[in-house]
Copies of this chain bind each other. A is one copy, B any other.
């Protein structure tokens, strides 16, 4: 593909910034100036500025235009290390992960001053006003919406709206294929129950979302942790090796976009290799794609399901990370397992409540959706930048961090002496809740990592919390090194 014009121009200005020709705090040429100088359209000039802004090189100041940003102090930190793909793969049954997680969650139940353990944005970043209005008007239009038995199969308008949204990630599907679930977590449960039986082995990314490990444990499945790059996602080589070694892998579960907790995005070529590898070994591929709409910029990455011609991919996603954390609307496209998944869904929890389904259908169909998503991505990007700057400023210099291209969190590698459990406990004493790395694997491999939420607008309070966290980590490092 040809590089679009705006990107060519953007690269030109980028090198001007990097070489110091344009210096931090200086004003970027105005949009009008750019149009004249390069003889380009308004849209191209705007795209140019927005792209540089999205990459963190410009900042927009109200009524003054774009300015070159102060270089992020983040650059002082080393990026995340690649995993050793040759290391021994350990097929561990996750008996116990739930207890580990429960203990952490139970401790974190008490009201804290700053909660950095969440995996969603702050409530104010979501369209609460529009949703409230939608709820009120739906209840006015349908007086017995709350007291009428839910019609079977899921709300047709929501299924149609989701089928349309699937086009954003390159999936062409019919509304009738969409199964609505209670969150993405129910979709994962149904997908795993459809393809595996207790005792079977499931290949997962390492580190991975502890919620998935709990699902596996609760279904009596064994997790096989596959090394995963913080930049390009699951290691295809390591997975291939695992498939050759373990004959009883019954599914592979990946989060190809903004992996939780790594934030990695798989290159399209990797996705296709993964798809073919799974097809070749006749192993179902479960794609958890709850975060892709939170990727920086306006281009949402393409789902693996896009290339799936045999129905071997079960696509799972949800709306609570992107529209309404207070609603539990997930959805899935189950490929070859459509009938089985629909049966399990019916037998497990029946259908989702009508009001929530209709709210989401109306919102997705409205012009609010795109506008909200654009704003949410921008907010999250600013917040991630601020949080990353705080990590760079307050955490020990041995800290490692790669900036994800979107999402609601940072995956921070502390100096190797640190224990996330100890940091968790110490932070909780200071009324700060974090998500310790030890939750993200059954091994202790990630015990010196933290997942830090970037969902809330940066504030003095957050800044204080990050400074406190930095002190805690530095103290630990010293004490343990001593």
User: A residues within 8 Å of B by Cβ?
Assistant: 98, 102, 105, 109, 118, 120, 123-129, 131-132, 135-136, 139, 143-150, 152-153, 182-183, 185-186, 189, 193, 197-198, 211, 214-215, 217-218, 220, 324-328, 343-344, 346-356, 359
Q: Which residues of B contact A123 (CB under 8 A)?
A: 144, 147-149
* Complex A-B, nearest 6 residue pairs according to Cβ-Cβ distance, in ascending order: A126-B147, A123-B144, A218-B347, A182-B349, A123-B148, A128-B147
Q: Which residues of B contact A193 (CB under 8 A)?
A: 218
| Contact assessment for B186 and A147 in the assembled complex, using a CB-CB cutoff below 8 Å | no
| Contact assessment for A217 and B347 in the assembled complex, using a CB-CB cutoff below 8 Å | yes
Instruction: Output the least CB separation between A5 and chain B (Å).
Output: 38
Known: A146-B128, A198-B198, A326-B146. A185 touches B350 (CB 8 A): yes
What residue in chain B is nearest A220 (Cβ atoms)?
Answer: B197
A-B contact pairs, 26 of them (CB 8 A): A109-B152, A123-B147, A128-B143, A128-B145, A128-B147, A132-B139, A132-B143, A132-B146, A135-B146, A135-B355, A136-B136, A146-B324, A147-B324, A148-B325, A148-B326, A150-B325, A182-B182, A182-B350, A183-B349, A185-B347, A211-B347, A217-B347, A326-B354, A328-B353, A349-B349, A353-B353
Residue in B109, B125, B198, B324 whose CB lies within 8 Å of A197: B198
Q: Which residues of B contact A102 (CB under 8 A)?
A: 343
Q: Which residues of B contact A354 (CB under 8 A)?
A: 326
- How many copies make up the complex? 2
Q: Which residues of B contact A326 (CB under 8 A)?
A: 144-150, 353-355
What residue in chain B is nearest A131 (Cβ atoms)?
Answer: B146
| Contact assessment for B353 and A327 in the assembled complex, using a CB-CB cutoff below 8 Å | yes
Q: Which residues of B contact A109 (CB under 8 A)?
A: 152-153
What residue in chain B is nearest A149 (Cβ atoms)?
Answer: B325
| Contact assessment for A189 and B347 in the assembled complex, using a CB-CB cutoff below 8 Å | yes
Compute how far the CA of A344 lies from the CA of B129 in the bound complex, rounded to whole angstroms. 34
What residue in chain B is nearest A184 (Cβ atoms)?
Answer: B350
Instruction: Output the least CB separation between A132 and chain B (Å).
Output: 5
Q: Which residues of B contact A217 (CB under 8 A)?
A: 347
| Contact assessment for A350 and B328 in the assembled complex, using a CB-CB cutoff below 8 Å | yes
| Contact assessment for B98 and A343 in the assembled complex, using a CB-CB cutoff below 8 Å | yes
Compute how far the CA of A56 lies from the CA of B356 in the bound complex, rounded to whole angstroms. 41
Known: A109-B152, A326-B146. A218 touches B348 (CB 8 A): yes
Compute how far the CA of A102 lies from the CA of B139 in the bound complex, rounded to whole angstroms. 31
Instruction: Output the least CB separation between A354 and chain B (Å).
Output: 5
Instruction: With a 10 A CB-CB cut-off, give which of A147, A198, A348 has the most chain B CB atoms.
Output: A147
Q: Which residues of B contact A352 (CB under 8 A)?
A: 328
Task: Given contact pairs A124-B144, A150-B328, enumerate 5 new A-B contacts (beta carbons under 8 Å).
Answer: A128-B145, A135-B355, A144-B326, A148-B326, A185-B350
Q: Which residues of B contact A218 (CB under 8 A)?
A: 193, 343-344, 347-348
Compute how far the CA of A135 lies from the CA of B135 in the bound complex, rounded to whole angstroms. 8
Instruction: Output the least CB separation between A284 and chain B (Å).
Output: 18
Q: Which residues of B contact A98 (CB under 8 A)?
A: 343, 347
Q: Which residues of B contact A124 (CB under 8 A)?
A: 144, 147
